[in-house]
Amino acid sequence: MMTIIQAGVDAMKRAGTLPLRVRIAAGRILKCRTSELGGHKQVCPDGHFERVWWNSCRHRFCPQCGLPAIERWLIRQKARLLRCDHYHVVFTMPAELNPLWSLNPRAMSGILFRVVRSTLSDLLGDPKFLGARAGVIAAQHTWGQTLVLHPHLHCLVTGGGLTKSGEWKPIRNGYLLPVRVVREVYAKRMLAMIREELGAGRLRVPEGQKAETWQRITVKLGGQKWNVKISERYAHGTGVATYLARYMRGTPLRSQRIVSWIGDQVRFSYVDNRATKEASSKVRRVMQLPTTDFVLRLFQHLPEPNMKLVRHWGLYGPKCHEQLDQCREFLGQAPVEETPDMRWKDICDRLGPMHPERCPTCGQRLVDGPLVSPETRLWSLKLPQNAA
């Protein structure tokens, strides 16, 4: 993956078409675990083996160094999950709104989070449905299987909640909410908020178009069927939390999906969701793209600096510790305990025999040696004259 990114970036540099944000991010990522960031030596206590362990870039989009952050997040979430049924709900933005998303990723992301939060909170709090405060973990993804722009929100929702009288109320009828009702409320609120932002001039529109054009587009979208999916209940939320954690760091496409890279063409596998719906198992296909197109597709999902892609609401919210512990007591769980901040070495210890810091000769744990200084300076933001 890193070699493909390097080739794509080099080709765009030569053509003078390398976008600034791709240049900056790729500049950091391509130095990950190389001598340019420095490192330290690791040696076998008995002298059988010695190596240099280069430092990581810790960039949130890096495809090779996000494991510690992912593991830390997942451990914290598992320690807080309620021992109850959970539901996986997916809210998708219509493709017609992609031009607005491309020009206003931070604003459109904020709209999506606010609308989904109010939709779930109000419907679950309604006595006609659950009539209680549930817990939600929401994670934003912006890609489809072929890396095209496809903004959507994955939500892990508790199958029960805390009532106003302070009691735990589980969902007993086997489904979280009626999909039709959720879809209607979500679409209505999303379009209303987009119209409001367009009217206030807080959303950019494509060049040559007017805000009024997009007001008319939102009216047409109101008559369409929006994509909201509520999966069947899970006995616990660990599986969905693990899925969300997988994409918290790194790129949306893992190296395992790269089929081949020959010349300037990248071939990668993807699941054909439309064909899968008609089949009894996943239908996998292969797509081929020029290297530069592949890299641009990949980096269009690069989050803006300090952009929050995961949020916690309701019982899982940051200000609901007492209510969460109250629910845990009802469910026979101990209060949430603060999890220790795991270091890289702690995470490696969990790998057992696959521990990457063992001597290949005697199996002893390697010990840290002297630091190794970087060979060159860190990434410079100074651009050449032809940089885009």
| pLDDT for the residue numbered 198 | 96
Of 287 and 66, more confident:
287
- 385: in domain: no
Which run of H or of E encompasses 265?
A: strand 265-271
DSSP state of 83: S
DSSP state of 318: T
**In this predicted model, what pLDDT tens digit does every residue of 143-174 receive, in sequence order?**
999 999 999 999 999 999 999 999 999 998 88
> Do the beta carbons of residue 202 and residue 103 sit within 8 Å?
no
Mean pLDDT, residues 83-103 taken together: 96
pLDDT confidence bin for 386, thresholds 50/70/90: very low
Please name every residue paired with 289 in a beta bridge, in sequence order, or none if there are none: 266
- 32: in domain: no
Return the minimum-mean-pLDDT range out of 81-85, 114-118, 178-182, 281-285. 281-285
| pLDDT for the residue numbered 344 | 66
> Do the beta carbons of residue 302 and residue 24 sit within 8 Å?
no
| C-alpha torsion angle, residues 219, 223, 224, 227 (rounded to 10) | 90
| pLDDT for the residue numbered 385 | 39
- For residue 127, what is the domain's CATH number? 3.40.1310
- 91: in domain: yes
* Whole-angstrom distance, CA of residue 3 vs CA of residue 16: 20
| pLDDT for the residue numbered 381 | 35
- 132: in domain: yes
Mean pLDDT, residues 364-375 taken together: 80
Taking 50 as the threshold, does the pLDDT of residue 376 lie above it? Answer: no
- 384: in domain: no
Supply the mean pLDDT for the chain: 89
Return the minimum-mean-pLDDT range out of 93-97, 101-105, 138-142, 232-236. 232-236
* Greatest mean pLDDT range, 46-50, 73-77, 309-313, 337-341: 309-313
| pLDDT for the residue numbered 276 | 80
Share of the chain above pLDDT 70, in %: 93
Mean pLDDT, residues 288-301 taken together: 95
Diameter of the chain measured on Cα atoms:
74
* Whole-angstrom distance, CA of residue 291 vs CA of residue 216: 38
pLDDT confidence bin for 193, thresholds 50/70/90: very high
> Do the beta carbons of residue 295 and residue 141 sit within 8 Å?
no
| pLDDT for the residue numbered 383 | 38
Query: For residue 381, how many C-alpha atoms fall within 13 Å in the half-sphere facing its CB?
Result: 3
Taking 70 as the threshold, does the pLDDT of residue 27 lie above it? Answer: yes
- 189: in domain: yes
**In this predicted model, what pLDDT tens digit does every residue of 311-350 receive, in sequence order?**
999 999 999 999 999 999 999 999 998 877 767 666 666 6
Share of the chain above pLDDT 90, in %: 64
Residue 326 corresponds to which amino acid? Q
Model pTM score = 0.89
Contacts of 291 by beta carbon, 8 Å cutoff, 6+ apart: 4, 7, 8, 11, 261, 264, 265, 266
> Do the beta carbons of residue 194 and residue 203 sit within 8 Å?
yes
Taking 90 as the threshold, does the pLDDT of residue 361 lie above it? Answer: no
| Start-to-end C-alpha separation, the chain | 23
| pLDDT for the residue numbered 347 | 66
Mean pLDDT, residues 196-225 taken together: 94
What domain range is 101 assigned to?
67-252+303-330
Q: β-pairing, 86-92 with 228-230?
A: antiparallel
Taking 70 as the threshold, does the pLDDT of residue 199 lie above it? Answer: yes
pLDDT confidence bin for 367, thresholds 50/70/90: confident
**Looking at the 3D structure of the chain, how many domains does it have?**
1
The string of DSSP codes covering 185-201 is: HHHHHHHHHHHHHHHTT
Handedness of CA 196, 201, 207, 211 (dihedral sign): positive
Q: How far is CA 130 from CA 82, 97, 141, 323, 372, in A?
A: 17, 32, 27, 17, 58
> Do the beta carbons of residue 6 and residue 294 sit within 8 Å?
no
pLDDT confidence bin for 246, thresholds 50/70/90: confident
Which run of H or of E encompasses 287?
A: strand 284-290
Q: At how many degrees (to 10) do helices 238-246 and 67-80 cross?
A: 160
| pLDDT for the residue numbered 352 | 61
- 379: in domain: no
Taking 80 as the threshold, does the pLDDT of residue 77 lie above it? Answer: yes
Taking 90 as the threshold, does the pLDDT of residue 358 lie above it? Answer: no
| pLDDT for the residue numbered 281 | 83
- 124: in domain: yes
Nearest CA-CA partner of 342 in 82, 74, 64, 81? 74
Nearest CA-CA partner of 65 in 6, 146, 2? 2
